[in-house]
Structure formats: structure tokens, C-alpha cells
Structure 1
Amino acid sequence: MARDFIKGDWQQGRAFSPAVVTTDTRKTIWLAGHGGLKSDDGTVLKGDFDAQCRQCFRNLEKTLAPAGGTLRDIVTMTVFLTDVRQTTRMTEIRTEIFGDDFPASAAITVTGFAVPEMLIEIQAVAVLD
């Protein structure tokens, strides 16, 4: 499947593409919201935004794996944050993960999650070859 990352001017600085065009779609995975409150070894990451953000991406990748997908297959994501001041840090972490080809994305500030200690949740759509 071909992917064309539409690159905007200011969007690159915020680590997202305004649009990702796919052709010859074979498999689409609609990912539910994934949090990162607990590390892989069960440690609670309460109050640690960086750790929760990175764990969100690890959890998304673990969900994609059985379908043959990786984070690079994500074409769009919605990021929910409890603190708008963390948007820049999330952008930095996302840049580490995706390089220059970012999924289309939105960041939304919320008042809280079902589990109050959560600081971030990511919902996404992935398209696999």
C-alpha cells in the first residue's frame, strides 16, 4: 500500500501530518483508546507523563502486533490529554517514534479519564499492506 504524507508548514513542528493518503488498502485496524498507566512489569506510572506517553505507544504496538502491524502503520490518531501544557512534550515523544512521517492527528484536552491517574490516552487507526 502506498502512503503519501501531506506535509504542512507548521504541522511538521507539532509532529503531525494534516493528512495521510493511502491507496490499495488491504487491512484497516481501528484502535480503541489506549492508556499507559502501568508499565509492562505492572509498575504504576502515576504522575509521570513521559512514562505514560511512551507506555501508550508500547500498548498500541502490542495491540497491532497480532494483526501484523506496527506503529508505522498508524495513519491517524486522536490524543487526549488532561493537561494542555503536556502537548509539546507529547509532540517531542511522538517525533522520536515517527521521525518525519507523522500520522494525521488531533490533540484534545479533557478534564479526566475513567481512571483519574491517567494523564494521556491515544485512539488510532492503522492501515496495513
Structure 2
Amino acid sequence: MGNISVFLDDYRTAPEGYVLTETIDECIELLRNYTIEHLSLDHDLVNKDRNGLMLVEMMVEEKRFANRITIHSANSVGGKAMYNCLKQAQQDSILSPSTIVSLRPLPLKYFPPRVLQHYLDVQ
């Protein structure tokens, strides 16, 4: 299997061409075993104790990243914390400065066409 794109969310459906993961455990397993082209992350998950920020912290600790990372959480506080953690990893030379890290919150019920293009551009 070549590069894959992964969408972590327990509520939204994944864009076409993305592997949907609903838990941080599923997501970290893919990060450990595949080259991830684009990783799009939500903060709030069903398991309130294992959220997107915990995943990002694990990624930094294990130095496992995608070529491009988007934080799509509608939780502004949680999403910003995830984004800031990744940007700090770039400043600390843990995450490559060439990795594009973006904060693009998504509505819960649909993908606006302009935002959806962000996901289609990866393919």
C-alpha cells in the first residue's frame, strides 16, 4: 500500500479517498505502519479521556507525523491547543518545517465546497 490519507473523527464522514478512524488508537496504529500523506484531526471524540490533543502529544513523543496535517475540530480551544503543539514541535525541530500544519475548523454537518477543496487537493 502506498501513501494514505487519514481522517480522525467519530461524527463526520471522511472525504472521499480518506481512511476514517474513530479513535486515537486506530489513528496512531496507522501512523506507525503507513506513510500518511494527509492527516486530518478532530479534538472531541466519544472517549472524553482520549482526545485529539492526546494523539498529537503521542505523535510528537514518538516522532510520527504525516506529510501534511490539518486540525479540523470545531472545538476552538482544543483545536488551537493541537495546532500550537504541532507548531511548537516544528520550532523545536521535532517536526519538519516543510510539513504543512493548518487549522481549518469544519462544521459538524457538511463540508463547505471551499473547505472540501483543501482535502481534494491532496489526491
The TM-score by the shorter chain falls in which range?
A: 0.3 to 0.5
More helix by share: 2
What is the TM-score with the length of structure 1 in the denominator? 0.37
Query: Which structure has greater strand proportion?
Result: 1
